[in-house]
Amino acid sequence: MAAGGGALIIASAGSGLPSVGLVPRWLTTASHWTGRHGLLVSLREHVIYTVVAVLIAMIIAIPIGLVVGHTGKGSFAVAGFANAIRAVPAFGLMILLYVLVSPKIHFHGSIGWLVPRGAFASLVPVEAMLVVLAVPPILTNTYAGVRDTDPAVTDAARGMGMRPRQVVMRVELPIALPLMLAGIRSAVLQVIATATIAGFLPFLGGLGYQIFINGLPQINDPNVGYPAMLGAALVVAALAGVADLVLLGVERLIVSPGLARPTARTRLLRP
Amino acid sequence: MDHIPGTASRRIRANAVVVRRSDFVIRFDSVTKQYPDGTVAVDGLTLEADTGKITVLVGPSGCGKTTSLRMINRMIDPTKGRIWLDDRDIATMRPDQLRRGMGYVIQQAGLFPHRTVIDNIGTVPVLLGATRRAARRRALKLLDQVGLPANLAGRYPAQLSGGQQQRVGVARALAANPPVMLMDEPFSAVDPVVRVQLQDEFLRLQGELGKTIVFVTHDIDEAVKLGDQVAVLRVGGRLAQLATPRELLAHPSDSFVAGFVGRDRGYRALGFTPAGELPLRGETVVRLGDRLDSVAARATEGWVLVLDEHDQPQGWLAASAASDQGGAVTPEMLNLGGTLAMESSSLREALDAALSSPSGRGVIVRDDGRLIGTVTASQVLTRIEQERSAVPLAR
Amino acid sequence: MSHAWQYFTNNQSQILTWLRTTAWLAVVPLAVGLALSLPAGWVASRYRWSYPPIITVGGLLYTIPSIVLFLALPGIIGTKILDPLNVAVALTVYCVALLARVVADGLRAVDADILNAGSAMGYTGRQLLLSVQLPLAIPVIGAGLRVAAVSNVSLIAVASTLGVSQLGSLFTIGNTTGDTAPIWVGLVMFVLLALVLDGLILAGVRLMTPWRRAVGR
């Protein structure tokens, strides 16, 4: 299986010298982009893995963050949970889930264009791992955004006759939005970077496919292996950059101009 | 969303231009608030906030004044006792609906930072079911009513000064035209000059609107200035005295109230007695531009009052400074030390006019600024003596 | 779990060797990264024009997937592909990317009144930095350091996909054999390593900021 690739390199590493200079030519060769295992397909898969994971993480993290921030109950648990999760190595978690869960999944069909035939059993551990990765930043930032809302503002909201749900949805949520979006941005960047290791599991693609399946086994051929790995990696970095810009644009659109943009300072000063 | 009974009529009221006199009385009936840790914040408070009047709760920190206020709109529920709004026990009313019928203004304004000024003001009308358009129309009127220019409508709270934020806070509380206003130290966070402005405009506004207002402050001067009645609370949440400001200054019920009311309360109490019929003396005056050599002849005790062409006093001129010079009387020669008192002023202002005047004669003017006459400090004091003998000291 | 414990005792010497490598990979980049971030962060905080480029470059570096960096470094610095040095250098890069911003923000966040009071008492710019600004920024820098430490430990695991021999190899072994025991051992070792590092940094920050303990929190 894919892990065999690791052993293969150990045996042969060190002979071929990596050649950075070949990367631009590899990236500009049309045949590397098209076809069933081309970069475009990998890119699409990578985006799907990312979007699915971040959406699931948002569905989990945002309500919890709002409730905990609003009530103040469970804030200790949230901070502890988020820190504990950060200490778990994503790669180890993915392998554990793959070994434990995947054999028990007997669905081998495809789900539309989202999940190709046979990939579901591998996809579950990958998405689970990515969700685990994406929840902490979204959760802690949503919680912090709500918690940091000026108490005078929520007091006024209640005093004017808003019900608790209205206080959350009309006051705390919009005020927490900048911090929340910062959390989502950081989750997206982390997930894009980490989704690369999905390529380590069978039947899965993403840009990691180019690295682990196309690149790694041919690492000793300086004309193919290394340029493919680094080329795909640069596409990952570009994807991360584009995603960041898109999210910044979204932030500009939906955050009230009355709110100061959060700086890293405000995020870090209040641990 | 569930249907709120009375929404339709409230909607009409929220949009109404006609100001409605309120007929709401708030009564505290032996209200006690004790926290789970044993602290008693309010202890057996009985008190009535009258229709259309300003009731001020004042006291040092820890006296339970804010707690008392917040029990009126059920931000806090009492441990014992009842609070009545007319004949209704507020404990039987839904908190959110109760609150929508009461304006609420707090010290830090608590404006929503993500909403423009106009949408902040429109908050309660929208909660009551008004359309955004209608709420904005109403908000524009209120903006004008609290003395803010319409071009602030589209600003965000962060772009306003502290004083402007407080005005928006007051406008927001007034938006649904609630009969009752609860105000928790609304002017404490602004600088003294702006505070006086806000207080004056608040009184003017209340003169127009006649709300039932409960007002919390720690500042006795503010309490005495704004209150129709003042409730002084002591630490531990017990009512020390409930009285009109004048009564409070004249007859503090015990040493705590006396100490809290302050040392120069005798002088400040004069602020509640209209100057009324002071024995005014006529002045021989000169006008700006008169020849200087005519001044000495018209001076009394070395000073002459200078008017402009509208009979408005400009300042005092010392005869000694004018006698041996030629030329005309110019504004630069005048002593501007004296304050003016108006005919509708209190004894306090009349006395101050006399004390501050370089000639020892306080200038009294009509409300349009034209001179009526002057009065000496001893004449004001005589008037005060008469006033005292008219109102028996013992209670 | 007893299965995992047995796996641990059976392979103890191998696992402890990997632990040493992993600990080295976790600590050295952190220390070097901090040493490099302090001047970079200071420059960014001191010269307004330099803040955006330094922070942007840091942010971009931070978005580079770790595998990419592990792979690109041999081509850039001429090391062999399996050299643990690649991992160390990559993690150092991440550290600097994260910490430069933290240091800059931490220094900038120090109350201007305190700095004015300092210069009014006759501190020179350098004295102000070393004896007022930097100590007051320690809590913020410490918080950033903890984030960097924990995320570094997690990234080291990824290096094993390329065959760099350390604790992460337990995961690749588990993947090839289908045995959960090495995976569990790996997860526990990684989490423990992260917690110990985190605790050490926390203790260090507390030791260096006695004034924060004085107020009780």
Per-residue model confidence (pLDDT) at position C1: 59
- pLDDT band, residue A204 (cuts 50/70/90): confident
- CA-CA distance, B216 to B208, in Å (whole number)? 21
Residues of B within 8 A of A256 (CB-CB) are 113-115, 156
| C14-38: average pLDDT | 92
Q: Any idea which residue has 């608030």 for tokens?
A: B33
- Integer Cα distance of B129 and B125 in angstroms: 6
Report whether pLDDT(A26) > 90: no
pLDDT at position A6 is 37
Report the b/e string of B92-131 with b at 16+ CB within 10 A. Answer: eeebbbbbbbbbbbbbbbbbbbbbbbbbbbbbbbbbbbbe
In this complex, is the C-beta atom of B112 within 8 Å of any C-beta atom belonging to chain A? yes
Query: What's the confidence (pLDDT) of residue B165?
Result: 92
Distance CA B237, CA B59 (A): 9
Domain spans of chain C, in order of start: 2-212
CB-nearest to C68 from A20, A236, A263 is A236
User: Residue A68 and residue A80: Cα distance in Å, rounded?
Assistant: 13
- Cβ contact B171:B157 at 8 Å: no
Interface test with C, best of A42, A95, A102 (most C CBs within 10 A): A95
pLDDT score of B348 more than 70 = yes
Segment A105-117 shows an average pLDDT of 76
Percent of chain A at pLDDT > 90 equals: 31
Q: Does B97 touch chain A (CB under 8 A)?
A: yes
Chain B residues 121-150 with a CB less than 8 Å from chain A: 123-124, 127
pLDDT band for A47, please (50, 70, 90 cuts): very high
Q: What is the pLDDT of residues C103-151, one digit of tens each?
A: 988 888 887 788 788 888 878 877 888 788 888 888 889 989 988 998 8
Contact across the interface for A233 and C157, Cβ inside 8 Å: no
More confident residue, A48 or C217: A48
Range(s) within chain B of domains with CATH label 3.40.50.300 = 7-272
CA separation for the pair A233, A236 (Å, rounded): 5
Range of the domain at A15: 4-269
- Find chain B residues with C-beta within 8 A of A175's C-beta: 112-114
Q: Give A-chain residues touching C190 at CB under 8 angstroms.
A: 87-89, 92
- At residue A261 the predicted structure's pLDDT band, cuts being 50, 70 and 90, is low
- CA nearest to B254, candidates B239, B269, B270: B239
Cβ contact, residue pair B75, A159, below 8 Å: yes
Per-residue pLDDT for A1 more than 80? no
The pLDDT > 90 percentage for chain B reads 33
Residue A10 clears pLDDT 50, i.e. is over it: no
pLDDT of residue A181: 92
Instruction: Give the sheet arrangement for strand B54-58, strand by strand.
Output: B102-106, B180-184, B212-217, B54-58, B229-234, B238-243
Inter-chain CB proximity C81 and A192 less than 8 Å: no
Chains contacting C (3 or more CB pairs within 8 Å): A
Contact B113 A258 (CB under 8 A): yes
Average pLDDT over residues B168-187: 91
CA of B224, closest CA in chain A: separation in Å?
26
> Quick check: C74 and A271 CB within 8 A?
no
pLDDT of the residue at C179 = 87
Q: Which two tokens stand for residue B220?
A: 């006795």
* pLDDT > 90? residue A156: yes
Q: Which residues of chain A are within 8 Å of residue C68 when distances are taken between CB atoms?
A: 196, 230, 233-234, 236-237
Higher-pLDDT residue of C80 and B102 is B102
Q: Which residues of A touch B172 (CB under 8 A)?
A: 160
The C-alpha R_g of chain A, in whole angstroms, comes to 22
pLDDT at B172 over 60: yes
Interface test with C, best of A19, A91, A213 (most C CBs within 10 A): A91
Question: How close B342 comes to chain A (CA, Å)?
Answer: 40
Q: Do chains B and C touch (3 or more CB pairs under 8 A)?
A: no
Chains that touch A (3 or more CB pairs under 8 A): B, C
Chain A: give the shortest CA distance to residue B16, in Å. Answer: 19
Average confidence score pLDDT of chain B? 84
Q: Which uninterrupted H or E stretch holds B243? A: strand B238-243
Closest to B55 (Cα-Cα) out of B260, B230, B232, B287:
B230
Bridge partners (DSSP) of residue B285 are: B305
- Tell me the pLDDT tens digit for each residue of B207-222: 888 899 999 999 888 9
- Is the Cβ pair C161, A212 closer than 8 Å? yes
Residues of A in contact with B107 (CB under 8 A): 152
Q: Can you tell me the distance from the alpha carbon of B367 to that of B345, in angstroms, rounded to the nearest whole number? A: 9
Report the distance separating Cα B308 and Cα B310, nearest Å. Answer: 5
Return the CATH number of the domain spanning residue range B285-386.
3.10.580.10
Say yes or no for a CB contact (<8 Å) between A160 and B108: no
Q: What is the mean pLDDT of residues A109-113?
A: 75
Nearest beta carbon to residue B110 from set A152, A161, A258: A152
Q: Is B295 on the interface with A (CB under 8 A)?
A: no
Average pLDDT over residues A147-159: 92
To the nearest whole Å, the CA of A200 is away from the closest chain C CA by 8
The whole-number pLDDT of residue A118 equals 72
Q: What is the pLDDT of residues C145-190, one digit of tens each?
A: 988 998 888 888 877 777 778 888 899 888 888 888 999 999 999 9
Residues of chain B with CATH 3.10.580.10: 285-386
For A237-246, what is the mean pLDDT? 87
Residue C215 distance to chain A (closest CA, Å):
17
pLDDT for A267 beyond 70: no
Model pLDDT for residues B48-93, shown as the tens digit of each residue: 998 889 999 999 888 999 999 999 999 999 999 999 988 889 999 9
DSSP state of B339: P
Q: Mean pLDDT, chain C, as a whole number?
A: 85
| pLDDT for res A138 | 94
The CATH number that domain C2-212 falls under is: 1.10.3720.10
Query: Which of B107, B124, B158 faces A258 most closely, judged by CB atoms?
Result: B158
Of B312, B381, B319, nearest to B340 by C-alpha is B312
**Residues paired with residue B47 on neighbouring β-strands, in sequence order:** B28
Q: Are the Cβ atoms of A159 and B113 closer than 8 angstroms?
A: no
Instruction: Count each helix (H run) and each strand (E run) in chain B, helices first.
Output: 16, 16
Tell me A217's DSSP state.
G
pLDDT at B2 over 90: no
Residues of C in contact with A6 (CB under 8 A): 160-163, 172
Chain A: residues touching B (Cβ < 8 Å): 150, 152-153, 155-163, 166, 171, 174-175, 177, 256-260
Percentage of chain B surpassing pLDDT 70?
91
pLDDT class of B240 with cuts at 50, 70, 90: very high
Tokens 């290791």 belong to residue: A197
> What domain count does chain A have?
1
CATH number of the domain encompassing residue A167: 1.10.3720.10
The number of C-beta contacts closer than 8 angstroms across A and B is 75
Please indicate whether residue B60 or residue C213 has the higher confidence score (pLDDT): B60
Gap between the Cα atoms of B19 and B308, Å rounded: 42
CB neighbour class for B27 (10 Å; exposed up to 12, middle 13-18, buried from 19): middle
CATH of domain B7-272: 3.40.50.300
Nearest to A161 among B109, B124, B169 (CB): B124
In Å, how far is B142's CA from the nearest CA of chain A?
A: 17
Segment A66-71 mean pLDDT: 92
Q: Quick: pLDDT tens for B294-345.
A: 777 788 888 888 888 888 888 888 887 765 667 788 888 888 878 888 877 7
Residue carrying the six token digits 């793959």:
A98
- Distance to chain A for B278, nearest Cα, Å: 49
Residue C87 has pLDDT above 70, yes or no: yes
Mean of pLDDT values over B365-378: 86
A150 CB neighbours in chain B (<8 A) are 108, 110, 113
The pLDDT of residue B57: 94
The rounded distance, in Å, linking the Cα atoms of C49 and C36 is 20
A and B touch per CB criterion (3+ pairs under 8 A): yes
Taking the model in full, what pTM does it have? 0.78
For the ranges A214-228, B141-155, B310-324, B330-344, which has the lowest average pLDDT?
Answer: A214-228
Inform me whether the pLDDT recorded for B45 exceeds 50. yes
User: How many Å from the N-terminal Cα to the C-terminal Cα in chain C?
Assistant: 38
| Rg of chain C, C-alpha, whole Å | 20
> Which of A155, A160, A173, A177 to mutate: most B Cβ within 10 Å?
A160
